[in-house]
Structure 1
Amino acid sequence: MKSDTHSSPSLRWDIFCRVIDNHGDLGVCWRLCADLTQRGHTVRLWVDDASALTWMAPQGCTGVAVHAWPDTAALQALAQDATFQIGDVVVEAFGCELPEAFQALMTQGTSPVWINLEYLSAESYVARSHGLASPVMSGPARGMTKWFFFPGFTPDTGGLLREADLPARQAAFQRQAWLSALRLDKPIAANEQLISLFCYEPAALPDLLKQLSQADAPTRLLLAQGRPSAAVAAATQALHMPSSGTGQLRISQLPYLSQTDFDHLLWAGDFNFVRGEDSLVRALWAGKPFAWHIYPQDDLAHHDKLQAFETALDMPADLRKFHAVWNGLETGPLPALSRTAIDDWRGWSHQTQQRLSAQTDLTSQLVSFVAQKR
């Protein structure tokens, strides 16, 4: 789709993000920040915990300034700083509430376009709610309007984050060179299938490891750091399996990967396990077969969210079954993750990638939306 890079004015953006219990919110916000700067905009990212950016974006990004979430004293200082200006656009990511003192600053001078960037979902309310106004009825920003912006999988939503140079980067990717540069504990054999694992703590994980160890062909499991690594350590211990794998399964620990290298991991894999929002979108763009471990919620609302996603993207029935067990919607043995199954799902993955790529990306839509509201 055509980019807005040369057709819209350069704007100043204030993007607010709170890190809850994982790094997905920050991951989405950083990709948005970086994509905006590629289109000529400047961004201030206000975040309460920026520590993950040391590995997520070790080189930083020209045009993005990272600031600590402002406390009362910091906001009082900004109010006295004659050089400080609120951005043309203020984004609340995922319902994080702006500090009231910042809201007060927004009412001085020209009001910014105020966006509430919501979580990604395929549920029907997304299209109905996308772009709706939310008048602010109380507090220091009373009288202003906040606009809901919903990412989504259909043209009547806000779309998905996709930088303009992504197809060119994918086309230029050298799989073997990248894998060699990882310097894994053991070199990858030519006949090993590659499976990347980025998950929470799925109950079916021991079943997966046992299944891969007893398969007909060898598998290299590329294991992400953090919760996935801890989950696999617990699972191998319960199975009395060496932490490096056994039988046909070899497990290799990955370092913390930058967002660029995480993309490379998904491009290199034959099958990718992903979780949350950011890695799901990147798995879709990779065009490789994948399984999504959706963020589990106590009220089981994630069950409806997963099923809506499967329906929206016409997921094959056997891959739906795999997702159901992997996500705990169904009990029983995990369906076999065989090479035949992976081959069968490859066509669906590629078709889904092409279908979603034909839609306008989120940043382009967001910039156009802001232009209409200014």
Structure 2
Amino acid sequence: MSPSINAPTNVVTAQRPANALIWDVFCHVVDNLGDIGVCWRLCADLAERGQSVRLWIDEPGALHWMAPGALEGRMDGVQVLYWTDPLAPDLLAHLVPADVWIETFGCHPPPEVQAHRATAIAAGGTLPVWVNLEYMSAEAYVERSHRLPSLVSSGPLRGMGQWFFYPGFTQATGGLLRETDLAARQTSFNAAAWLVAQGLACAARPRASLFCYEPAALPALLQQAGQDHPSDWLVTTGRATDAVNAAQAQGLQMGQTNLHHLPRLTQRDYDHLLWACDLNFVRGEDSLVRALWAGKPLVWHIYPQHDDAHHAKLEAFLDWLQAPDSLRAFHRIWNGITPAHNVWPGWDVVDSWRACVLAARARLLAQPDLTSQLLEFVAEKR
């Protein structure tokens, strides 16, 4: 049974601002936290800036807890459409043609959508600005490939132009997602009050958030951290919890490490978690960006690829970050690139990582964000 999805005739047709465009954002879920996380933040940010957005998604269930109210149509300016195969009968007949198509992470818009638009174009309709929003990377090819044109090679829209758009960390890329009110929200955030509201003690000891896959170094990390200093480890629901439970089942000795298992967090509360901690273990793409905005020491568990292509991607990020040797070494251990018996570097070393993260954050804040760049790019191409 499909999740409850808001009806296809609401937000994008009523009382749109004069300068608003209709955006179709297509999301094919591979990792149901990473892809959907990035896409929802983009949709919400576009809507906050007065745009009308339709999120086409094939596995929308995570939005129930990630963005409560999204599936029921309670997010002003964003409409969620269930991308089934085939699409629901007559769905397209009720939709106003979009001005912009955002194809995320190499997915292709549903064939019915493409055929429907081809028919409309043949009858005199307009072309959408078709943007292929790619994966984020600090590798050199991103600057070379950003904003390059391409032609659709097959299907009913064959020969139509589209554009590559690459998120990234430098002025020559598409930037990173950053809401216009982010700085104000961080300034007003009360970590102690938020922790208490989550049922967590605000103790005078270090806190780490743990959002990861299944790193081989995890048991040694927790055990060695427990020998260093009393600390609280806030474990996110899902694969991180499963990995911790597996380590405990093998007789892990926790020492002074206090584990706290968290419920599912909304995207807003995940940001709060990062702001409330002294060290953030993150994974994939969306949480890395949020950890950079948090400005706290971070460790990135990059999505592993079978051909080890993620090794070069990780090294490129660490180069951009200007990571000190101790942070580079820990990343390589955490990502299984180099083995190590001594995993945990100590809280004093962790604290020394803060300077490079804050410097990187300052560089990013001096650059335009992803949504602003997309808006400018689309206006240029229209």
Question: Under a length normalisation based on structure 1, what TM-score does the superposition of the two structures give?
Answer: 0.92
More displaced 10-residue stretch of structure 1: 129-138 or 228-237 = 129-138
Contact 1:214–1:248 (CA under 8 A) maintained in structure 2: yes
2:301 to 293, 300, 304: 293
Give the whole-Å Cα distance in 1 for the aligned partners of 2:95 and 2:180.
31
**How do 1:1-374 and structure 2 match up within 5 A?**
9-60=19-70, 61-74=75-88, 77-79=90-92, 81=93, 83-107=94-118, 108=120, 109-184=125-200, 187-190=201-204, 192-215=205-228, 217-241=229-253, 246-374=254-382
3-state SS of 1:22 partner: coil
- CA deviation vs aligned residue, 1:184-241 (integer Å, no higher than 9, x gap): 3xx3422x210000000001001101111111x2100000000000000011222344
For 2:163, give the aligned amino acid.
Answer: W
Give the whole-Å Cα distance in 1 for the aligned partners of 2:117 and 2:129.
10
Contact 1:18–1:47 (CA under 8 A) maintained in structure 2: yes
For 1:156, give the aligned amino acid.
Answer: A
Give the whole-Å Cα distance in 2 for the aligned partners of 1:201 and 1:352.
27
Distance 1:368 1:235, change over 3 A: same
1:106 CA displacement: 2.3
Give the whole-Å Cα distance in 2 for the aligned partners of 1:146 and 1:334.
49
1:337 CA displacement: 3.2
Let me know the Cα RMSD of the aligned residues.
1.5
1:142 CA displacement: 1.5
3-state SS of 2:214 partner: coil
3-state SS of 1:229 partner: helix
1:143 CA displacement: 2.4
Unaligned runs of 5+ in 1: 1-6
For 1:30, give the aligned amino acid.
Answer: W
Give the whole-Å Cα distance in 2 for the aligned partners of 1:28 and 1:213.
34
Give the whole-Å Cα distance in 2 for the aligned partners of 1:359 and 1:64.
26
3-state SS of 1:67 partner: strand
For 1:315, give the aligned amino acid.
Answer: A
Distance 1:239 1:118, change over 3 A: same
Give the whole-Å Cα distance in 1 for the aligned partners of 2:86 and 2:246.
43
Contact 1:206–1:239 (CA under 8 A) maintained in structure 2: no
3-state SS of 1:45 partner: strand
Distance 1:115 1:175, change over 3 A: same
Distance 1:92 1:111, change over 3 A: same
More displaced 10-residue stretch of structure 1: 222-231 or 54-63 = 54-63
Unaligned runs of 5+ in 2: 1-16
For 1:201, give the aligned amino acid.
Answer: E
Contact 1:188–1:220 (CA under 8 A) maintained in structure 2: no
4+ residue runs of structure 1 moved beyond 4 angstroms? none
Give the whole-Å Cα distance in 2 for the aligned partners of 1:334 and 1:361.
39
1:8 CA displacement: 9.5
Aligned residues: 357
More displaced 10-residue stretch of structure 1: 221-230 or 313-322 = 313-322
Give the fraction of aligned pairs with identical amino acids, expressed as a percent.
55
Give the whole-Å Cα distance in 2 for the aligned partners of 1:337 and 1:173.
29
Distance 1:240 1:203, change over 3 A: closer
Give the whole-Å Cα distance in 2 for the aligned partners of 1:72 and 1:232.
40
3-state SS of 1:363 partner: helix
1:101 CA displacement: 1.8
3-state SS of 2:43 partner: helix
- CA deviation vs aligned residue, 1:58-95 (integer Å, no higher than 9, x gap): 14321111110043352x5245x2x5222100111101
Give the whole-Å Cα distance in 2 for the aligned partners of 1:135 and 1:259.
35
1:338 CA displacement: 1.4
Distance 1:70 1:110, change over 3 A: farther
Give the whole-Å Cα distance in 1 for the aligned partners of 2:95 and 2:31.
32
1:139 CA displacement: 1.4
More displaced 10-residue stretch of structure 1: 31-40 or 345-354 = 345-354
Contact 2:175–2:368 (CA under 8 A) maintained in structure 1: yes
More displaced 10-residue stretch of structure 1: 328-337 or 345-354 = 328-337
Q: Which structure exhibits the higher relative contact order, with contacts defined as CA atoms closer than 8 Å and separated by 6 or more residues? A: 1
Distance 1:342 1:240, change over 3 A: closer
3-state SS of 1:252 partner: strand
For 1:193, give the aligned amino acid.
Answer: P
3-state SS of 2:263 partner: coil
For 1:167, give the aligned amino acid.
Answer: A
